[in-house]
Every structure is written in C-alpha cells, then in structure tokens.
Amino acid sequence: MTVRVGIIGVGVMGADHALSLDRRVSGAAVTAVADFDAARASAVASTLRSATVAADGPALIERDDVDAVVIASHDSTHAELVHLALAAGKPVLCEKPLAPTAAECREIIAAQGERTLITVGFMRRFDPAYVELKRVVSSGELGEPLVAHCVSRTVEAYPGGTSASTITNSAIHELDIVPWLLSSPITEVSWHAGRTSAHSGTRQDPQIMLLRTESDVLVTVEIFLNARYGYDTRCEVVGDIGASALVLPTHVVTDRDRRRSVAYPADWVPRYADAYRLQLQEWVDSLEAGRVSELADADAGLRAGLVADALVASMNEGGRTVVVE
C-alpha cells in the first residue's frame, strides 16, 4: 500500500517535507500540494514525481487521491485545517503548534474523540542525539536529574513575529522535549528578559524561561532568534552523579592559520534532517500498518500549548511565576 499524501503549505518546512516524502521515505507518494502562493505551490509540485496543485487547503483535504495530510502552513491556519481533516476522516501530521492556544487544542481533541488521527510534528523526539540523551537520563547513569539547560539560537527571525510567537512557535519545541526527556510534566514557569538584540525587530530577543517539572527539576531555556552566527541547539541534563549534553553535529572542520574552526548550519534543516525523515517514515509506516504511531499526539500538543499559555501570561505580568493548568 502506498500512502497518498497532500501537503498544505510549501514554504521551507513544507517543501522539505514534500521532497522527503517523495524521495527519502518509503511507502509514500505526494499527490497534491497547496499554498497561498500559487506560484510557489507550482514550483514545488514540479519537483515531485506525481503531485498536482490544489486550489487551497480545504480543497486538498477533500481530494479523493489524498489519504493523509501534512499541515505546514502558518500557525494561525492549523486549527481550522485540522478540524477539516478530522471531518474528512483523514490522518493529519500537523507541524507545531497544533493550534496557537490551548483552548483551540482542546476543541481539536474533543472533535477527534476516540480516534487517533492527529499527530504533531515535534520531530526532536526522533533526533538520534536527543534519543540517546533520553536513554542516558532514563537509565540512571546520571543519578537523579537536578537541573537541565536548553538553548535554541537561529540566524535571523522571520519578520513580523511577536514576543508571544517566540514562545508559541519557537520555544514550543523545548516545551515538548523537556517533559519527554525527563519523564515529568512541566508544572510552573516564569519568563524573563533583559537587554534586547539590536536585530530584534518587533519582539523581545533573546528570552529566558525558567521551568519547573513535577519531579522538581529546574530547567533554563534560552531562545535567541537573531543570534546571527548560525543555527545552534543545545541541551544538557545535570544529575547528582553526572551530566550529559548534546554535542554540536560537525560536518566539516577547517584548519587554517593555526586555527581550527567548524561551520554552523544556516537553519534547522540540515541539523534535523534525520529527525524529520525518521518522523515521516514512522508516520507513513503506522498508517500502512493501521497502528498508533510513536509521534507526539494531540494530547502532547495540548500539554505544550498549556505551558506556552502560562509563559505568555508570565510575560504579560512582569515575569511572575505561573502554575501550568
């Protein structure tokens, strides 16, 4: 069986998913793409084996030659499109966030009912480095986890974002991976900021977030979207007998003028290429087998959304500590 996939939104993320499903993932075929930019949709479709362009997202979902849907459009469109996919009875892989607010996530979960159609694109759960870090933490090699530190830096933020969207769109990855990594939900948060970057535009940048888990582990999160030097993700877990951290993936090392240097990627695509591919393969395999996938589900999307809502509340209230619902 070949799973026929339609992709809504073919910007950087959606286009990469399209190419991966078309060329790197077995058992899948991209049959339709849609984007608010018709020229971009046509350009992406032309690079695929058998895809055609749908008029828009709703039209793509209704097509008979689409078995399952990937939603990679703007965050503000996610909830409506997921509801349409549910109404059509089609499995959906929705890029994070599942919806901009926890209230919308709850509405989606209610509409899904007992079905298991929704998965959320928290791809770090499939990144080999994070998987190994979770194994080390879960094995007890570090003793009991005490603190963790997360850093996420990008070269340049997309224009027009807000301080709140830094939380709901960027930090959302940390808000999912931290409880997954530590096997403990986040129970309270606070948001902090100081001096802002000259390149911050319409948002506070960088931002610091302090999280506390149910197991009383403190976690620091730094999100810096205009770091300029490259794409850089870090994570360290410190236990009472050891510590373990991600190591920067290095593809090329340059030796010159008595110095050694490494190159950072310009964005997330090369850093998480394996994670995206493995996530998509697991999704397709689960659809072929008719089983529940190992991807994050709608409940995970809600839990991350609840933490994001608490952080936005903390930001709006001067950084006070907020208990997660």
CA distance 190 to 314: 6
For the segment 77-126, what is each residue's pLDDT rounded down to a tens digit?
999 999 999 999 999 999 999 998 899 999 999 999 999 999 999 999 99
Q: Which pLDDT does position 324 carry in this prediction?
A: 98
Per-residue pLDDT band at 57 (split at 50, 70, 90): very high
pTM for this one? 0.93
Which of 120, 144, 161 corresponds to the end of one domain? 120
Task: Out of 72, 90, 120, pick the residue that ends a domain.
Answer: 120
pLDDT of amino acid 111: 98
Please give the mean pLDDT across all residues of the chain: 96
Q: Is residue 61 part of a domain?
A: yes
Task: Please tell me the predicted confidence (pLDDT) of residue 263.
Answer: 86
Split at pLDDT 50, 70, 90, the class of 201 is: confident
| 140 φ, ψ (degrees, to nearest 5) | 85, 5
The pLDDT of residue 140 is above 70: yes
Number of domains, the chain: 2
Give the model's pLDDT for residue 251.
66
Are 98 and 188 in a shared domain? no
Q: Is residue 286 part of a domain?
A: no
Nearest-angstrom CA–CA distance, 307 and 59: 33
Q: Which domain holds residue 211?
A: 125-271+306-323
Domain annotation covers residue 290: no
Same domain, 148 and 264: yes
User: Can you give the pLDDT at residue 160?
Assistant: 84
Lowest-pLDDT range, 105-109, 157-161, 170-174, 308-312? 157-161
SS3 234: strand
Query: Are residues 77 and 190 both part of a single domain?
Result: no
Closest to 29 in 3D by CA, of 61, 5, 54: 5
Contact 306, 186 (CB under 8 A): no
Is the pLDDT at 159 greater than 90, yes or no? no
Please say whether the beta carbons of 25 and 277 come within 8 A: yes
Cα angle 97, 119, 222 (rounded to 5 degrees) comes to: 35
The verdict on 22 and 37 lying in the same domain is yes
Asked if the structure places residue 41 within a domain, the reply is yes
213, 132: one domain: yes
The mean per-residue pLDDT over the stretch 124-135 comes to 97
Q: Residue 110's closest CA among 78, 69, 79?
A: 79
Residue 269: the pLDDT is 86
65: pLDDT strictly greater than 70: yes
Average pLDDT, integer, range 2-29: 97
CA 11 to chain centre: 15
Backbone angles phi, psi at 178, to 5 degrees: -60, -55
Task: Assess whether 177 and 41 both reside in one domain.
Answer: no
**Looking at residue 250, what is its pLDDT?**
65
CATH number at residue 28: 3.40.50.720
Q: Do residues 106 and 137 share a domain?
A: no
Are 196 and 317 contained in the same domain? yes
pLDDT tens-place string over residues 249-292: 766 788 999 999 888 888 888 899 999 999 999 999 999 999 99
